[in-house]
Chain A
Amino acid sequence: IAGITQAPTSQILAAGRRMTLRCTQDMRHNAMYWYRQDLGLGLRLIHYSNTAGTTGKGEVPDGYSVSRANTDDFPLTLASAVPSQTSVYFCATSPTSSTDTQYFGPGTRLTVL
């Protein structure tokens, strides 16, 4: 059982390019989340999904979009990357949208030049 997998592990991207970060879970958790982690700022929520077919905006959603076509996958897309989106991105899950505990994936390190 892998838990949560994220791809790619790291990526260097030219500004203006489109990029999709992938997240897949095998725990059958209903809720999924995307965070970005920046030095000194901790973890900030970008988007979330309470269940397949629904998504919502977190604290810092601008410049990002998500989709949730099924339970297992929750891709994060940067339509036109900018240098301020350089960060480490973590996908997380929780059993339900009302379950406090969140479980994190290994992360994707993204550099936008």
Chain B
Amino acid sequence: EAQVTQNPRYLITVTGKKLTVTCSQNMNHEYMSWYRQDPGLGLRQIYYSMNVEVTDKGDVPEGYKVSRKEKRNFPLILESPSPNQTSLYFCASSFGDRHTGELFFGEGSRLTVL
């Protein structure tokens, strides 16, 4: 089954404790992206990747890191989480370097930072 898989789905952590949210897709998509979604603000892009070893900042990259060592994986790293990073996070992927726009989303990871 074609899918984007994120883990963990739910996480409660404390300020400053490094965490990684994994994202994996099995559709051989070149484009991958991370979003956060907060009430009233819609989806905001954190980082995106056009292909292996190519990553770029989105609209809200501060406090986050990513890597793209393999085509299928695109982990999101919070080196020192803070309460303002409490949010719902979505990983998404799509075909092509100028992707068609039909993004395939993971189920989301709800993160709470205390």
Are A and B part of the same complex? no
